[in-house]
Amino acid sequence: MKKYIAGLLACLPLPVAAEGYWTYGAWQVYAETVSAGNYLHLNCTAYTGGDGDPLVRISITSSEVGPPTNFPTVYIQENASRGYATAMREGQNVAFVIDDYWDYYTQAHSYYDSDGILQAYAGVGHPDSLYAMRAMRKGSNMSVYIDGMPYIHLDLRGFTAAYVKAMDECGHSSTGVL
């Protein structure tokens, strides 16, 4: 009986508990344990940009329903220095254009964080995010436009490996994008 129970326990998946940082080409992946009240979950983010520039990211947690049922949103995110405005303004039209071929449209949103810093973001959500990430996998660069004006150009080299790593770290499948 003990061997039977031990065998059943061996078949159960282990909880996701690793933390780390990885780099793939122009993309980075960060996994961190986050407290959500009375339980912990892993937050996994793949991103490019930053260091003062806006960043493009996808994030998912180990407690979310993930691929192939639900795909993470592709976000562009910007924060301003205290007292300054962001380039993205509430309600502006934002276009994600991959290799001047695939384009995805959304609107910008902004808010002040708990430290009084203005934040702005725009996201292409599910189900369009699946098609955007497939284009990112095939593409070599992404340009983001605000109201038709160029905003930032990003290298997609390493996106696929970063996406797979983020999904894997949080216990999700990369099915659908690959």
Angle at which helix 128-138 crosses helix 159-169, to 10 degrees, equals 130
Residue 32 to residue 121: CA distance in whole angstroms? 22
Residue 43 to residue 40: CA distance in whole angstroms? 10
Q: Are 18 and 153 in contact (CB under 8 A)?
A: no
User: Residue for token digits 């964080």?
Assistant: 113
Domains of the chain by residue range = 2-169
143, 123, 137: which is closest to 167 by C-alpha? 137
The per-residue pLDDT string of the chain (178 residues; one tens digit each, 9 = 90 and over) reads 444 333 433 333 434 445 799 999 999 999 999 887 888 889 999 999 988 899 999 999 888 888 888 899 999 999 988 889 999 999 999 999 999 999 999 999 999 999 999 999 999 998 899 999 999 999 999 999 999 999 999 999 999 999 999 999 999 988 888 7
Return the CATH architecture of domain 2-169. Answer: Sandwich (2.60)
Helix intervals (H) in 107-155: 128-138
Residue 160 to residue 50: CA distance in whole angstroms? 19
Number of C-beta neighbours around residue 138 at 10 A: 14
Q: Are 109 and 122 in contact (CB under 8 A)?
A: yes
105, 86, 85: which is closest to 95 by C-alpha? 105
